[in-house]
Chains A and B, each alone.
Chain A
Amino acid sequence: MKSLRSWFTGRAAVIGVPYVWLLLFFLLPFLIVMKISVSEMETVNFKDLITLKDGVLQLALRFGNYVFITEDDLYFKTYLSSLKYAAVTTVLCLFIGYPFAYFMARAKATVQPALLMLVMLPFWTSFLLRVYAWKGLLSEHGWAYDFITATRLDLALAAGGLIPAPGQLMNTPFSLVLGMTYTYLPFMILPLYSNLAKMDLRLLEAATDLGATAWVAFWKITVPLSKAGIIAGSMLVFIPCVGEFVIPELLGGPQTLMIGRVMWDEFFSNNDWPMASTVAVVMVLLIIVPLAIFSKYQAEAQEARK
């Protein structure tokens, strides 16, 4: 039999720390949320799932909330709209962030740290304050409001259905997506930058030598080689955006259904913890399952290369 000492080696301890962390702060809370989602409320307490009554061991799982979620299309619509806003934000971040990261990575080595600093600078101010600031900027007579109305951009936004009417910018899909894109842009730029900075520039010379113009070399060489950075950045933006609560609460309007707000309402307005937990569980599964499939596919592709 192995002694306790040999089991508890330094290696096990080092590997164990992140596992214990995930176990305590992710898996355990998630299991608690799952448990709440199938529990029955009894005034303010939950009924025990497993009871021993008259010598009969009873396991009571209430799936009513899960059934309800599928029946009430509010939830389905909210999920869909959360995914939609998250996807739009991700695409916008990618389109703004890619050129940004590209020019940073190709800038002179001496100015790169300064540019990197500028990208990270907003983190020095609380995220909440920065989102509040947009409230001021987008309300009537805010700078952004004046700029957009003066340049007649609001007409285009209204035509696109992003704002209900010209001159009304706050509490619209427009203000929501603007706030989310602004907040999450650094999370797109940083992985893209680190990926693009590592790229071997001789590959571009080789492409040029073989007859590719700069534009073709960019699409055929740079973009495919930065795939890992694009995926990492998109994940970092998309996942938190799906469950975002603060930004929809501050900048979104009645039109902008987001799952984070529905959850908040269930928890704190309706005090229906099992329902709220159900919404949370479904959301986590909706994000985790595609991610797991994706990473399995990635791992297989990696394996096939060996």
Chain B
Amino acid sequence: MSQAQQPAAASAFLQIHEVVKDFGGYKAVNNVSIDIAKGEIFALLGSSGCGKTTLLRMLAGFETPTSGKIILNGTDLAGLLPYERPLNMMFQSYALFPHLTVWENVAFGLKRDGLPKDQIATQVEAMLKLVQLSKFAKRKPHQLSGGQQQRVALARSLAKKPQLLLLDEPLGALDKKLREETQIELVNIIENVGVTCVMVTHDQEEAMTMASRIAVMSEGRFLQVGAPSDIYETPATRFVADFIGNVNLMDGTLTEDQPDHVVISCADCTHYVGHGITGTEGMTVTVALRPEKIRLETQKPATEHNQVQGTVKDMSYFGSYTVYHLALPSGQVLKVSESNTERHRDKPLTWGDSAWACWTPTAQVVLTA
């Protein structure tokens, strides 16, 4: 079973247990189980249509699970309507009330609880201070920039001190530069408040920088759950390896199976992997190799394995790094990413140059699924 099951801790704050959502025969969410600890920022990552939003909407109560249970802090959410659930959601592109001011937007949820006026005012002001929007209290949402609107949405969803905060593509509506700044800020605020958080995103960078754990979803299932570095460094399946970041995938056969190392022979090269795997000689496996873990040399390296010669077919210059597309003899293209070497190398590589790509025995991940 590829799904990395977390041990079901008794103290799990949010338990999603075998949840299925069937839309007339199409299973948008297909038997998903996960335990989320208090204070965690948990990201559901996947491309559109993978079921991540449906799962989030089931947490919020906008969709009802076909089967399975969702338990928050010991309470089964099944019987609770959206407005009765002790959780709040920050909607995609915010869904701020356009006819209300920033202050009224933040106060909306508190007023529904029938709190006394002075208590509402104190809480709204605290929230606006938290997101640094105190002086915009009287503005209407459309008078604010995208980043400010995002902060109003955050303040509104935190105002009722929810036990669980749901974020639906929290930064999707911001441009790249602002997104990077906001990611850190958002995480800081969430950690300050100490609220448990489930977020949905299709942006792997967003998931990696913000979440403490990520679930990679596809076709309604969790493919892998783990810390960002686990998912990136040791992807469990071909799909996860390919979905998260850039990767070179090489199919090959296991030719030497030792407890401390294995050798895999592929069309263009042989891989020496410095750890054992569960498998038998002769089985077909896939080697995943990240572009940044490959080095380019102009001379043939002395090692026997983990090297291949190719021709530079394409180069993409990104400023701080360059991605070389190395055409291998079999026709496969090997992506190699190098930090900016413009002022280090005597003669920079260019189109048509021949080069050796080499990597260490710990660089690869062997995928058997």
**Is chain B found bound to chain A in the same assembly?**
yes
A contacts, CB < 8 Å to B = 200, 202-203, 205-213, 216, 220-221, 224-225, 227, 305
B109 touches A211 (CB 8 A): yes
- Which of A210, A227, A305 has a CB less than 8 Å from the CB of B112? A210
Complex Cα distance A225/B62, Å? 22
B112 touches A216 (CB 8 A): yes
Chain B residues whose CB sits within 8 angstroms of the CB of A212 once the complex forms: 83, 108, 112
Which residue of B has the minimal Cβ distance to A214?
B83
Stretch at the interface among B90-98, B248-256, B280-288, B333-341: B90-98
B140 interface contact, C-beta 8 A: yes
B97 touches A211 (CB 8 A): no
B contacts, CB < 8 Å to A = 60, 62, 81-83, 88-89, 91-92, 95-99, 108-109, 112-113, 140, 142-143, 156-157, 160
B91 touches A202 (CB 8 A): yes
Chain B residues whose CB sits within 8 angstroms of the CB of A224 once the complex forms: 99
A209 touches B89 (CB 8 A): yes
Using known A-B contacts A305-B142, A305-B143, determine if residue A209 contacts B97 with beta carbons closer than 8 Å. no
Complex Cα distance A227/B98, Å? 12
Using known A-B contacts A203-B97, A205-B82, determine if residue A210 contacts B91 with beta carbons closer than 8 Å. no
Chain B residues whose CB sits within 8 angstroms of the CB of A225 once the complex forms: 98-99
A231–chain B nearest beta-carbon distance, Å: 14
B173–chain A nearest beta-carbon distance, Å: 13
Chain A residues whose CB sits within 8 angstroms of the CB of B140 once the complex forms: 305
Chain B residues whose CB sits within 8 angstroms of the CB of A211 once the complex forms: 83, 109, 112-113, 160
Which residue of B has the minimal Cβ distance to A210?
B109
B296–chain A nearest beta-carbon distance, Å: 49
Chain B residues whose CB sits within 8 angstroms of the CB of A208 once the complex forms: 62, 81-83
- Which of B91, B99, B143 has a CB less than 8 Å from the CB of A206? B91
B113 touches A209 (CB 8 A): no
Using known A-B contacts A210-B88, A210-B160, A305-B140, determine if residue A205 contacts B95 with beta carbons closer than 8 Å. yes
Complex Cα distance A208/B60, Å? 10
- Which of A206, A216, A227 has a CB less than 8 Å from the CB of B95? A206
Complex Cα distance A305/B88, Å? 29
Chain A residues whose CB sits within 8 angstroms of the CB of B99 once the complex forms: 224-225, 227
Using known A-B contacts A210-B88, A210-B160, A211-B160, determine if residue A202 contacts B83 with beta carbons closer than 8 Å. no
Chain A residues whose CB sits within 8 angstroms of the CB of B157 once the complex forms: 209
A210 touches B156 (CB 8 A): yes
Complex Cα distance A206/B109, Å? 10
A203 touches B112 (CB 8 A): no
Which residue of A has the minimal Cβ distance to B62?
A205
Chain A residues whose CB sits within 8 angstroms of the CB of B83 once the complex forms: 208-213
B97 touches A221 (CB 8 A): yes
A24–chain B nearest beta-carbon distance, Å: 40
Chain A residues whose CB sits within 8 angstroms of the CB of B112 once the complex forms: 210-212, 216
User: Nearest 3 pairs between A and B by C-beta?
Assistant: A210-B109, A211-B112, A206-B95
Q: Which of B62, B82, B156 has the most CB of A within 10 A?
A: B82
B108 touches A200 (CB 8 A): no
Complex Cα distance A298/B69, Å? 51
Complex Cα distance A130/B226, Å? 71
A207–chain B nearest beta-carbon distance, Å: 7
Which residue of B has the minimal Cβ distance to A201?
B95
A207 touches B108 (CB 8 A): yes
Which residue of B has the minimal Cβ distance to A209?
B89
Question: Can you identify 17 A-B contacts, CB atoms within 8 angstroms?
Answer: A200-B95, A202-B95, A205-B62, A206-B91, A206-B97, A208-B62, A208-B83, A209-B82, A210-B83, A210-B112, A211-B113, A211-B160, A212-B112, A225-B99, A227-B99, A305-B140, A305-B142
B52–chain A nearest beta-carbon distance, Å: 17
Complex Cα distance A213/B112, Å? 9
Chain B residues whose CB sits within 8 angstroms of the CB of A213 once the complex forms: 83
Chain A residues whose CB sits within 8 angstroms of the CB of B142 once the complex forms: 305
Chain A residues whose CB sits within 8 angstroms of the CB of B97 once the complex forms: 203, 206-207, 221
B69–chain A nearest beta-carbon distance, Å: 21
Chain A residues whose CB sits within 8 angstroms of the CB of B60 once the complex forms: 205, 209
B127–chain A nearest beta-carbon distance, Å: 13
Complex Cα distance A154/B200, Å? 61
Complex Cα distance A305/B143, Å? 7
Complex Cα distance A53/B117, Å? 77
Complex Cα distance A7/B156, Å? 54
B163–chain A nearest beta-carbon distance, Å: 14
Chain A residues whose CB sits within 8 angstroms of the CB of B92 once the complex forms: 202
Complex Cα distance A237/B346, Å? 83
